[in-house]
Chain A
């Protein structure tokens, strides 16, 4: 059989993520310290796990409502009221999804059709471009710049908008750069979008991991932006619940209604046990977040300052759990740097160009690791840089 003739070319044409290549090599080696994973090293807090166990014990293992347990949707609604003074109806504007990833897929598929343009700032999470393409849309890339701390500027946005633009993806706090958008930055973006028909898909999965005494601002809080915002978040990063596969999406009711259709036909409902655990996370998890954030913050400061001591140029990331140092001074490409670092020093990092072409010359370092491991990894990187200079 000639599968090439059968398979959907828009799927076949999607390139596998550049991250994979390095993970495959790393898996073959021993004693590798991985700064490559985008997954918290903390365990899911015990009280949250216990709620999952209780749900199992009480045999709460049926489908839930397509949109998710009403208790959970109410807790999500309370959370946004409490943290952001945003009002979302638990009946009509909240949908519980299988991780943030499904939420991104739904948000894009509900809005984007053949030929619609979607503006995507890069470097950013690897799934936006393929999902847009699979929906028939056309990704329009904005290369954010290190000198702007990888924030999206109003000028860059204005220049990218055409009459076909249907959506802007706003991935902040950003994976891989750790960049954030503050209130003033978002206000300028809002000014550009006001009066247009462009929707914003705001991926705020790292919102709780914002540092330096600042708290996250959502674009939905700015002016009238809520009516054009599809807000995505979830439990994976915030509560260290990656394997529970639970996220959610907040949007105006007419959009939520369409996304719910896709969700109910493709997924039916999100994992029930996870939803019960998530109720507990939202009810009693604030202290866990504070503790994890404080720990991440020490690591973040440590890694940034150590890179600077090594002479690498690195901007201070104010969100997520990544540092994005520039490695151009080594004379190596991102790929060469990461491959050699892995093979010679057994430290795994991800080449910046895996997150968009403009990430070339950078590497993504995740500080989801103990200080003790970070110390070892950083000293290996230091050695690597030294040896490279001499060579």
Chain B
């Protein structure tokens, strides 16, 4: 990977809202070059989107997230791809990962209540062809999301002692 691009991606991953002027200072490149790099990364789907990280718990209590472990019977020639593709079409689904270890697919599902999520699993996921079993784990509290701490952050605890 191009070193400049690597640095740029790290900066954007930290905060996608830095202006091109800020990023140009951080990279020591002009703004045109920064715009060009970003455009290219967007075009190549290296940068797949920009979203706010929202702590919904602070604004509403009708928000539930569950991690669902799926055991899947892989299909001949298609492996897990076909079922993963079908699952990721569903609006309730936030993420789909193929996993190593004890189960096959890890699916994050969002809903307004425990019941809604449970019904989604029972009626939409569990009944799909080739699903062997499901295990649903509800998220009780989110401490950190995509590298961002959602709890009170520690303050700078450095005292004025150094020279």
| In the complex, per-residue mask of A237-251: 1 if CB is within 8 Å of any chain B CB, else 0 | 000001000000000
| In the complex, per-residue mask of A16-46: 1 if CB is within 8 Å of any chain B CB, else 0 | 0101100110110000001011110100000
A301 near B28 (CB under 8 angstroms)?
A: yes
CB-CB under 8 A for A36 and B160, given A298-B7, A298-B26, A305-B24: yes
**Complex contacts, A306 vs chain B, CB 8 Å:** 25
Determine if A332 is an interface residue (Cβ-Cβ < 8 Å): no
CB-CB under 8 A for A19 and B7, given A39-B158, A298-B26, A305-B28: no
Q: How long is the Cα–Cα vector from A298 to B3 in the complex, in angstroms?
A: 12
Determine if A126 is an interface residue (Cβ-Cβ < 8 Å): yes
Closest CB in chain B relative to A163 CB, distance in Å = 32
Give the residue of B24, B26, B28, B163 whose beta carbon is less than 8 angstroms from that of A126: B163
Determine if A371 is an interface residue (Cβ-Cβ < 8 Å): yes
Closest CB in chain B relative to A66 CB, distance in Å = 27
Closest CB in chain B relative to A349 CB, distance in Å = 13
- Give B17-50 interface residues, CB cut-off 8 Å to A: 18, 21-22, 24-28
Give the residue of B14, B22, B161, B163 whose beta carbon is less than 8 angstroms from that of A302: B22
A37 near B162 (CB under 8 angstroms)?
A: yes
Q: How long is the Cα–Cα vector from A242 to B161 in the complex, in angstroms?
A: 11
Determine if A125 is an interface residue (Cβ-Cβ < 8 Å): yes
Q: How long is the Cα–Cα vector from A41 to B153 in the complex, in angstroms?
A: 14
Closest CB in chain A relative to B30 CB, distance in Å = 10
Give the residue of A17, A369, A371 whose beta carbon is less than 8 angstroms from that of B11: A371
B28 near A38 (CB under 8 angstroms)?
A: no
**Complex contacts, B160 vs chain A, CB 8 Å:** 20, 23-24, 26-27, 34, 36-37
Residue of B nearest to A308 (CB): B25
Size range of the chain B interface in the assembly: 10 to 19
Determine if A266 is an interface residue (Cβ-Cβ < 8 Å): no
Residue of B nearest to A19 (CB): B163
Determine if B156 is an interface residue (Cβ-Cβ < 8 Å): yes
Closest CB in chain B relative to A107 CB, distance in Å = 17
Determine if A375 is an interface residue (Cβ-Cβ < 8 Å): yes
B22 near A375 (CB under 8 angstroms)?
A: yes
Q: How long is the Cα–Cα vector from A295 to B14 in the complex, in angstroms?
A: 12
Determine if A14 is an interface residue (Cβ-Cβ < 8 Å): no
| In the complex, per-residue mask of A72-104: 1 if CB is within 8 Å of any chain B CB, else 0 | 000000000000000000000000000000000
A309 near B26 (CB under 8 angstroms)?
A: no
Residue of A nearest to B23 (CB): A302
- Give A1-27 interface residues, CB cut-off 8 Å to B: 17, 19-20, 23-24, 26-27
Residue of B nearest to A26 (CB): B160
**Complex contacts, B14 vs chain A, CB 8 Å:** 371
B7 near A41 (CB under 8 angstroms)?
A: no
**Complex contacts, A26 vs chain B, CB 8 Å:** 160
- Give A297-340 interface residues, CB cut-off 8 Å to B: 298-299, 301-302, 305-306, 309
Determine if B94 is an interface residue (Cβ-Cβ < 8 Å): no
A301 near B26 (CB under 8 angstroms)?
A: yes
Closest CB in chain A relative to B21 CB, distance in Å = 8
Closest CB in chain A relative to B41 CB, distance in Å = 17
Determine if B15 is an interface residue (Cβ-Cβ < 8 Å): yes
Q: How long is the Cα–Cα vector from A14 to B22 in the complex, in angstroms?
A: 43
Closest CB in chain B relative to A371 CB, distance in Å = 7
Determine if A127 is an interface residue (Cβ-Cβ < 8 Å): yes
Closest CB in chain A relative to B81 CB, distance in Å = 35
Closest CB in chain A relative to B8 CB, distance in Å = 10
Closest CB in chain A relative to B110 CB, distance in Å = 28
A372 near B163 (CB under 8 angstroms)?
A: no
Q: How long is the Cα–Cα vector from A188 to B126 in the complex, in angstroms?
A: 76
Q: How long is the Cα–Cα vector from A272 to B18 in the complex, in angstroms?
A: 44
Q: How long is the Cα–Cα vector from A309 to B25 in the complex, in angstroms?
A: 9
B163 near A125 (CB under 8 angstroms)?
A: yes
Q: How long is the Cα–Cα vector from A128 to B15 in the complex, in angstroms?
A: 41
Q: How long is the Cα–Cα vector from A34 to B157 in the complex, in angstroms?
A: 11
Q: How long is the Cα–Cα vector from A37 to B157 in the complex, in angstroms?
A: 11
Residue of A nearest to B21 (CB): A309
**Complex contacts, B161 vs chain A, CB 8 Å:** 39
**Complex contacts, A39 vs chain B, CB 8 Å:** 158, 161-162
B26 near A302 (CB under 8 angstroms)?
A: yes
Residue of B nearest to A18 (CB): B163
**Complex contacts, A375 vs chain B, CB 8 Å:** 18, 22
Interface centre among B11, B21, B28, B163 (most CB of A within 10 A): B163
Q: How long is the Cα–Cα vector from A20 to B24 in the complex, in angstroms?
A: 35
Chain A residues with a Cβ under 8 A of chain B: 17, 19-20, 23-24, 26-27, 34, 36-39, 41, 125-127, 175, 242, 298-299, 301-302, 305-306, 309, 369, 371-372, 375
Given contacts A17-B163, A302-B25, 14 further A-B contacts (CB under 8 A): A23-B160, A34-B160, A37-B160, A37-B162, A39-B161, A41-B158, A175-B163, A298-B11, A298-B27, A301-B26, A301-B27, A305-B25, A305-B26, A369-B156
